[in-house]
Amino acid sequence: MKVKIPNITHALCVDASCSGNPWPMEYRAVELHTRKEIFHSPIYPTGTNNLGEFLAIYDGIRYIENLKNKTKTKNSSQVPSPKSQSRYECIFSDSETALAWMKSKKIKTTLKYTEETKDLLEKVQEAITWIKTHDFDIPIRKRETEIRWEIPADFDRK
Residues of the chain with pLDDT under 50: 80-85
- Supply the pLDDT for residue 72: 75
In a domain, 155, yes or no: no
- Supply the pLDDT for residue 67: 92
Q: How many domains does the chain have?
A: 1
- Supply the pLDDT for residue 57: 98
**Tell me, what CATH number does 57's domain have?**
3.30.420.10
Residue-range definition of the domain harbouring residue 104: 11-148
CB-CB contact of 140 with 91 (8 Å)? yes
pTM of the model: 0.87
The pLDDT tens digits for 61-87 are: 999 999 988 877 766 555 544 444 458
In a domain, 136, yes or no: yes
In a domain, 153, yes or no: no
Region of residue 75 (left: phi > 0; alpha: psi -120 to 50; beta: else): beta
In a domain, 5, yes or no: no
In a domain, 60, yes or no: yes
